Amino acid sequence: MNADMASSISQGLLLTIPMAPLAGALIAGLAGNWVGRRGAHVSTILGVLVAFICSVVVLVQVGAGARFNATIYEWMVLGKLVMEVGFLIDGLSAMMMCVVTFVSLMVHIYTIGYMKDDPGYQRFFAYISLFTFSMLMLVMSNNFLQLFFGWEAVGLVSYLLIGFWFKKPTAIFANMKAFLVNRVGDFGFILGIGLIVAYGGTLNYAEAFAKAPELAKLTFPSPFGGGDWMLITVACICLFIGAMGKSAQFPLHVWLPDSMEGPTPISALIHAATMVTAGIFMVARMSPLFELSDTALNFVLVIGAITALFMGFLGIIQNDIKRVVAYSTLSQLGYMTVALGLSVYGVAVFHLMTHAFFKALLFLAAGSVIIGMHHDQDIRNMGGLRKHMPITWITALLGSLALIGTPLFAGFYSKDSILIASHHSTLPGAGFAMFAVYAGVFVTAFYSFRMYFLVFHGEERFRHKPFPPAHAPEDDHAHDHHGDHHDVTPRESPWVVTAPLLLLALPSVVIGFITIQPMLFGDFLKDAIHVDAARHPAMAALTAEFDGAAAMALHGLMTLPFWLAVAGVAMAWLFYLKAPAIPAALDRHLKPLRVVLENKYYLDWFNENVLSAGARVLGRGLWKGGDVLVIDGAINGAARGIGSLAGVLRLVQTGHLYWYALVMLLGLFGLLTWQLWPFFSGLIR
């Protein structure tokens, strides 16, 4: 057993964490009809609850200094290459385990209320519990093989969940889009793993990291001419392309807004704690490799900056409440990616953690609003919900304040740390990244509070609905019928919906204040993340400037990001509560810009009309030219040739004995002539 202090954390305890959700998924999925609705949600919630409690126990042990790195099961040995199942438990994985299980537990409880009338109730619980198992296997892995298993498993289950309502054309399109875009990213991901395995000779993290300095010295000729390429640079960029797909970074972000076609609980699970955070986690785990390539880090930095700013712009013009939150997820994932590019990996995973709580809160609050609005998702049809849905209102406000980085709230500590770090990077792309993340503060505050004011304040537009939908987005499903549709007045959601909101609101407010010291400036992540301080000084500068959580919040009131956020909130208040004529006028005068934003920078158009069309043309060419003309032509041509030959030979098959005797005699004469001809030609001469 390759173990470091393995005895300090029980192997059985660690096995229980992913196996408990898997057991719940199997019960709900395979025996759903037998156990019924109650049995499905009880078994899955119990499984995730057990996983959460065990994760907290592991977190406490890790905080006390315990670590675990061992092989659980050796699957296959190919020469010197060992394929195994193993766990690596340190501060990074322990934090992720707690975040994943807690958010998943809240989503499971919430689902009881949200999906209560859906005919696929048991199936949905099976899927979300399986999703939790897949993510846990990913974050607990100590080798690339298990990482790839968890990576693909979350992709598969997301396909099932996004297309959960499989009779809905938009859901079918959305899950196929998510699946295909992620395959593009995964192609890069497996190439990156393949390069490390080919040149490092191992699938184990620790062994690969130990060989990283040697890998950094290797080069190979560029296929496009010019100088040689560093192996480590190519491997890291390939790994990050995988993260671009999974964590929805530009230009592989296009699948994530469409994933809103799935039920709201899965939107919260995908966007807050599971699938989209996998890429961020992976790059942080691979920090010993990324630190050896400034080129790869700069690539990560620029892609993250583009995503953080330009996806925020798209959030401004969205009217679907879930899509506004979805674009905020894209933007915040961009912030995390910027932090990775700045080599402040701890800050990236810190923002991942705080974001998981307030983003799950915002999604579930949006779902509560959707229930209250009888599944009308257009924020222009809402207004004045504050007095009708007080719990949803206050929790949505707390989530929004955390999202925009209000001092003392969770999002402030993680987001402000990224902003400070952007000042200290020496990478070429740092200037653009700093502009993007600062501009993103204003944009985030504006679109977040645009949604907040339109939904919870102002005129009660739900009584006359100025923008009546053709049909509610989820009308085709029996679960839609929450409440009495004859009474249009929204009502507060049941306790199974509001209780998770309250439980998520608490960490959304306090978790940053409590954990910033140990996570960023203590020893909690010390052995999980490697930073070359000499080449990448941002983390060292951040540490030097930190003088406590309270002092940081107090200082934050006097900094530019705070006033940018205040300006964004004030502008949203002015535009959508006090002077709605202003945005209407801007809409008329800036129509070309709005068209560009509504078409999402025409990336979907490009993908569908250029890439997809090109792929279809290529496929049709290979089909018609390669398959039909060459392959089928050769086979069918051979068959026709044999048929023609058979037609000729059939002429000599008369069935008459005298004919066969004559042919035999002629044949014998010909054979004798051929054999005796040299003798007769000699006599003639």
The 10s digit of each residue's pLDDT in 247-295 is 889 888 888 888 888 788 887 888 777 788 889 999 999 999 999 988 9
Please check the confidence at residue 360 and state whether its pLDDT lies above 80: yes
Residue 132 · residue 55 · CB < 8 Å: no
Higher pLDDT, 424 or 680: 424
pLDDT of residue 486: 55
Least confident of 394-408, 436-450, 454-468: 454-468
pLDDT digits (tens, 9 = 90+) for 205-225: 988 999 888 888 888 777 776
Q: Comparing C-alpha atoms, which of 472, 467, 502, 503 is closest to residue 485?
A: 472
State residue 674's pLDDT score: 80
Please compute the mean of the pLDDT values over residues 473-502 and round it to a whole number. Answer: 65
Higher model confidence: residue 677 or residue 185?
Answer: 185
Confidence of residue 685 (pLDDT cuts 50, 70, 90): low
SS (H, E, C) 34-82: HHHHHHHHHHHHHHHHHHHHHHHHHHHHHHCCCCEEEEEEEEEEECCEE
In this predicted structure, what is the pLDDT of residue 479? 43
**80 versus 446: which is more confidently predicted?**
446
Res 669: pLDDT: 85
Mean of pLDDT values over 8-12: 84
Q: Does residue 623 sit in helix, strand or coil?
A: helix
Q: Please report, as a single letter, which amino acid is at residue 497.
A: V
With cut-offs at 50, 70 and 90, classify the pLDDT of residue 117: confident
pLDDT at residue 478 tops 80: no
Is residue 346 within 8 Å of 281, Cβ to Cβ? no
Least confident of 4-8, 30-34, 567-571: 4-8
Mean pLDDT rounded to a whole number for the chain: 86
Whether the model pTM is above 0.75? yes
Model pLDDT, residue 684? 66
Q: Which residues contact 56 (CB under 8 A, 6 or more apart)?
A: 98
CB 27 within 8 A of CB 123: no
Q: Is the pLDDT of residue 148 over 80?
A: yes
For the residues 464-486, what does the mean pLDDT come to?
A: 52
Residue range 72-87: mean pLDDT, rounded: 86
- Whether 281 and 196 have beta carbons less than 8 Å apart is answered as no
- Label residue 598 exposed, middle or buried (CB < 10 Å: 0-12, 13-18, 19+): exposed
For the chain, give the number of residues: 685
What percentage of the chain reaches a pLDDT higher than 70?
Answer: 95
Residue 500 scores a pLDDT above 80: yes
pLDDT per residue as tens digits for the range 349-359: 999 999 999 99
